Structure 1
Amino acid sequence: MPDQQDKEPILIPKPTLDRLKLYHRLLNEIEQKHISSEEMAQKIGTTAEQVRKDLTYLKTTGKPKVGYNVETLRQELEELFGVKKTTKVILVGAGHLGSALVNYPGFANYGIEIVAIFDNDPKKVGMFIGELSILPMKDIGRVVKRFGVEIGIICVPKESAQEVAEILVSKGIKGIWNFAPTRLIVPDDVFVVDEDMTQSLLTLKHFLEMKKQKMQESQHNSEKA
């Protein structure tokens, strides 16, 4: 009889979960049979100790002087992230970003299928993005129920994002991928992942500026010497 503890889900810290995603991507890119923690660490920019610590959350273990079985580790990570299970998703906001996401072919590799796109602009309703016809907002509940959708993507202006989030939650959505630059207020049992591209660009600009300053300081010190 299996241990009761094995039935309980393990809560993985977000930083570890983020690194496990990187390991999964790495394992998909290599063809070798085994890989060491040192090699994984080098390829994703961390330490071997960190890799081994992260992988203790999995059942797969490595062997001394051999490493981890790539296929076994990849399969366990795919099970962890539900890659082989198709997840139905809806998207709200048929603008440039929403259209780009609907047309992105890479989602299929991770078991993600966008089944419907919605917009509140009557002029857009009925138009096609790829193979999907843009639907009116009033049809969200019907689509969610029909496909068993649990995830919604928000690609609307920040002024409309909270209202859209409330509509999605009221129709049974339990996970929101939010591209609007605003913080959403949702019930505790609803998960929100914010994708703020502006903040990401600001972070990138900050690191580039810091690098320039260090180069200028180094050059200045060199000239003084």
Structure 2
Amino acid sequence: MIEKVLIIGSGFMGTSIAQASYLTEISCVENNQEHIAELQKKNLYKSIYQSLDEVQDRFDLVIICTRQDKVLHFINEVSKQEIGTYITDIASSKNFLKEALLPDNFISSHPICGSHKTGPTESEKKLFADKEVILIKDKTDKFVNDLKNFWESLGSNVSFMNLEEHNKNYAYLSHFPHFFSFIYEEILQEENIDYEKYSGDSLKEILRLSKADKNLWAEIFEDNKTNLEDLKEKIRKKLL
């Protein structure tokens, strides 16, 4: 049973997890001083650590909610310091995990929710309600059930995929729509078309995705590049 949780990176997603959880034994690692000040106002955490080295306690679950390029570092550090019984992450693309030497107590998660907003100020308590969470696992064991129960306690529905299936599906369902939105907005700006004034709601909804963090999404696009290239080629053939 998961009763004590450590969240590494309490931005929008990490703070939303803490707000949605029924648990009282939740702590976080966060080194952004503005974020720390906001988190202290929210009074969500038992402890707020500014680095992993400060953590002396042990947790049932460590959730890594950092940028994708920091995930492997924290998996290794948490495993080395034996801080968590179990470890998960919430990265959107998982190809970077394929060749990594991962500890046996790690299972990757992907909550299918989010926002173009960032930081703990924008966090949403009901973000995970009725949303899907994908667990990257081919077999069932006690940890899988405990992690499934944790996400379900936030109101989420849990499904299972292997890594390759996940990366292909979300290239089609999420990564390419974001890629298109970024590129299309850039083209509209280059053509000096006032889309803010003249476009209807449907285009504004498409372009809403382009308000997301471009650096974060650049990491996702690079990680899932092969699947995105395959999809772009399929689209190119349809347009011919």
For Structure 1 versus Structure 2, the TM-score category normalised by the shorter chain is 0.3 to 0.5
Which structure exhibits the higher relative contact order, with contacts defined as CA atoms closer than 8 Å and separated by 6 or more residues? Answer: 2
Name which one, 1 or 2, has greater alpha-carbon Rg. 1
TM-score by length of 2: 0.39
TM-score (norm 1): 0.41
